[in-house]
Amino acid sequence: MNYYRDCNCHTTTQQGQGKSNIMFSSSISIGDAIKAASQLKSELKIAQLDLEIGSSKNITSEEQILHTAANILRRDIHSLDLNNDYYPTPSECSLPLSIQSMPPNLTKFISCIGKLWADGGLRDLMVDSGVYAGCTVDQMLLGKQFNRSVRGLTLVYEALRSLWFASFFKWCEENDGIDAIPKDVWVMLSKCQAKFSDESESYKDELRELTILYSTHVLP
């Protein structure tokens, strides 16, 4: 309607069941008015769609996105041609079955760790720390106390990682190797410390990169 804003359009509404009378000025034809109205309607429709898309982005949560993706996979997975010798069927990879099979698999993994490292100092380390009793550690390394096993092995990992860094700094002091270490190692170490202080879940990438830098530039 920008092209015809100088033209006048009068609408007179009748009372009752009669129709409204629309009278256009002589400078604009009915065809031009219909064309302008159609263009305005399409522009309003596009604006409304943009508004709906913008509002939907604001209210869409990550759970809704995952739920939508799961529905798409559930709907289309049967149409895929997969070799069952290498890939499980949809019924074999369902969520209830995964919930049932995951704890036994992790329990077997923990028991394997116990068989490999219990007599190599892992049991003594967990007992001498005073966190767990000896009989409890024996059960943990057999995979019979799942929650305690996961927590205990996590504590051992964190303690060994701290000792690893402590020995690294001690070696640097004894061998005057501070200046020989690239600046990138110290920058990444500061980033890891900041992530740990913020209790962020994204510190794993920084820790992995720091490990790569340490192995590349520091280890002989």
DSSP string, 39-50: HHHHHHHHHHHH
Statement to judge: residues 86 and 26 lie in one domain? no
Residues 6+ apart with CB under 8 A from 146: 103, 106, 107, 110
Statement to judge: residues 48 and 147 lie in one domain? no
Statement to judge: residues 118 and 178 lie in one domain? yes
SS3 22: strand
Statement to judge: residues 31 and 121 lie in one domain? no
Of 39, 74, 93, the residue at which a domain comes to its end is 93
**Residue 155 pLDDT > 80, yes or no?**
yes
Average pLDDT over residues 182-191: 74
User: For the segment 34-88, what is each residue's pLDDT rounded down to a tens digit?
Assistant: 666 667 767 777 776 666 655 555 555 667 777 777 777 777 666 666 565 655 6
Statement to judge: residues 86 and 107 lie in one domain? no
By DSSP bridging, strand 21-24 and strand 9-12 are: antiparallel
pLDDT bin (cut points 50, 70, 90) of residue 28 is low
Confidence (pLDDT) at 172: 76
Average pLDDT over residues 154-179: 78
CB 144 within 8 A of CB 136: no
Strand partners of residue 10:
23
Alpha helices in 24-145 (DSSP H): 30-59, 62-76, 95-117, 123-128, 134-141
User: How many percent of the chain have pLDDT more than 90?
Assistant: 0
Statement to judge: residues 43 and 67 lie in one domain? no
Statement to judge: residues 130 and 201 lie in one domain? yes
Number of structural domains (the chain) is 3
User: For the segment 82-110, what is each residue's pLDDT rounded down to a tens digit?
Assistant: 565 655 666 666 666 666 666 777 888 88
The domain in which residue 130 lies consists of 101-217
Is this structure's pTM higher than 0.75? no
